[in-house]
Amino acid sequence: MNPFHYTACTDIDSALAAMASHNGTNPCQARFVAGGTNLIDLMKERLAHPSALIDINGLPLADIAPTDDGGLRLGALARNADTADHPLVRARYPLLRAAILAGASPQLRNMASNGGNLLQRTRCYYFYDADVPCNKHTPGSGCPATKGLARQHAIFGASTHCIATHPSDMCVALAALEAVVHVQSVRGRRAIPFATFHRLPEDRPEVDTTLAPDELITHIDLPPAQPGFAVHSTYLKLRERASYAFAMMSVAAALDIGEDGRVRTARVVLGGVAHKPWRNVPAESLLVGKVAERASFMAVADAVMADARPAGGPGVPESSRGNSWKIPMAHRAIVRALEMATQGIPSNTGEDGARCRGEQPA
Ligand code: SF4
């Protein structure tokens, strides 16, 4: 691990000023640190080399509170566990709760901050080896995953420079709920719609988000809950072992279903399949006005998966690419998630006890 300066701040202005001063004088940029559950690992693995760490755990950004418009404000420093357990998240946004509880372990959720969850980096095997080429940690060095092990890699939005996926569960739900990320720097404040917060790799895979290096995430706003989503939402996560594993793919599905059984609003977002949570708005709009039933869900899955391609480099046949299995699996996962949402089953991961299996709580 490289030497670095350490500064602990207790107010936002001091933290932003510290960031501005470090980034103005050092070739390696300073980084804000909160839970440190990804950043410290990256530093130990020689994949992050900040010149300074600005500890923001003392900043007043841990509150979770209703907004004037009926939504909910999630402080960037609220811990993932506290967010999942908050009464208003439980009551109004169970999709977010289910996604958070599907991720990591209880110990990690106790440490990980909401802001940090958005900034975690890919779990591509090659990325985590500082001694192999990788365009994400060493721009221009190449992407061995395109000709190597790509089992967990992208089927949407990949480029020839990078086929990595975003690992977060929480972000998949935030995309489905149309959250807005609020950020601040010494230059001012701005709000970033969740759909544009993470970016596709294109020819700059080393850049994961549209956040500027000196910007601090202050909070994440959820719009007022859609009628019906509190009952008809699901986070379906498919992984290689039953707990404490990143998603090979996931689906956040939410439906507002009228008394006539027809869908008024639908959200379908996939995780583990692209460099960002993957949402296809035209495809999910196919459900509007349709009866919430398997035939309607199949049509949505057909439309979403029409754009899917197994990732791999030139000369590697699509049929032999390591992640081609994800395409039929994701199709089935979309249909299953929408069926679970219709039935009011919030999760397949068992974190929520009996409700996760579709049973009535005792
Ligand atoms: Fe690196 Fe992206 Fe290629 Fe993985 S997929 S080796 S992160 S460039």
Q: pLDDT > 90: what percent of the chain?
A: 86
* Beta carbons of 263 and 255 less than 8 angstroms apart: yes
In eight-state DSSP terms, residue 169 is: S
The DSSP result for 217-266, as a single string, is EEEEEEPPPPTTTTTSEEEEEE-SSSSS---SEEEEEEEEE-TTSBEEEE
Three-class DSSP category at 6: strand
| 204 Cα–ligand 1 center, Å | 11
pLDDT > 70: percent of the chain: 92
Is pLDDT at 71 greater than 80 in this prediction?
yes
Beta strands in the chain (DSSP E): 5-8, 31-33, 52-55, 64-66, 72-75, 180-185, 188-193, 216-222, 233-238, 249-257, 263-271, 278-279
**φ, ψ dihedrals at 181, nearest 5°:** -95, 125
Question: What are 354's two structure tokens?
Answer: 């009996």
Expressed in angstroms and rounded, the spacing between residue 213 Cα and the centre of ligand 1 is 21
Tokens of 329: 């699996």
> Mean per-residue pLDDT for 34-45?
96
d(CA 194, CA 211): 11
How many Cα neighbours within 13 Å face the side chain of 8?
2
- CB contact at 8 A, 170 and 161: no
Ligand 1 pocket test, pick from 135, 138, 156, 200 with the greatest ligand atom count within 8 Å of Cβ, gives 135
Q: Quote the ligand 1 centre to 126 CA distance (angstroms).
A: 6
**3-class secondary structure, 145:** helix
3-state secondary structure of 180: strand
Taking the C-alpha atoms of residue 46 and residue 138, their distance in angstroms, rounded to an integer, is: 11
Question: Average of pLDDT values for 110-129?
Answer: 97
Q: Is the pLDDT of residue 233 over 60?
A: yes
**Pocket-testing residue among 42, 45, 122, ligand 1, by greatest number of atoms within 8 A of Cβ:** 122
Amino acid 242: pLDDT: 84
Q: Helix (H, G, I), strand (E, B), or coil: what is residue 161?
A: coil
The arithmetic mean of pLDDT across residues 249-265, rounded, is 98
pLDDT at 349: 85
* pLDDT reported for residue 2: 84
Q: How far is the CA of 133 from the centre of ligand 1 (A)?
A: 8
Q: How confident is the model at residue 25 (pLDDT cuts 50, 70, 90)?
A: low
Segment 273-295 mean pLDDT: 98
- Please name which of 237, 226, 261 lies closest in space to residue 356, comparing C-alpha atoms: 237
Contact 154, 275 (CB under 8 A): yes
Query: Which pLDDT score is estimated for 351?
Result: 60
Tokens (6 digits) for 232: 């008809």
Cα(253)–Cα(232) distance, integer angstroms:
8
Q: What is the CB < 6 Å shell around ligand 1?
A: 122, 124, 126-127, 134-136, 143-145, 162-164, 205
Position in ligand 1 atom list of the atom nearest CA 161: 8
Q: What is the mean pLDDT of the chain?
A: 93
Q: Whose CA is nearest to atom 7 of ligand 1?
A: 127
What single letter denotes the amino acid at residue 15?
A
pLDDT in tens, 292-336: 999 999 999 999 999 999 986 556 666 667 899 999 999 999 999
Q: Give pLDDT, residue 316.
A: 66
276 CA to centre of own chain: 7
Within 13 Å, how many C-alpha atoms sit on residue 15's CB side? Answer: 26
Residue 138 CA, ligand 1 centroid: distance in Å: 10
Mean pLDDT of 249-274: 98
Residue 361 has pLDDT above 50, yes or no: no
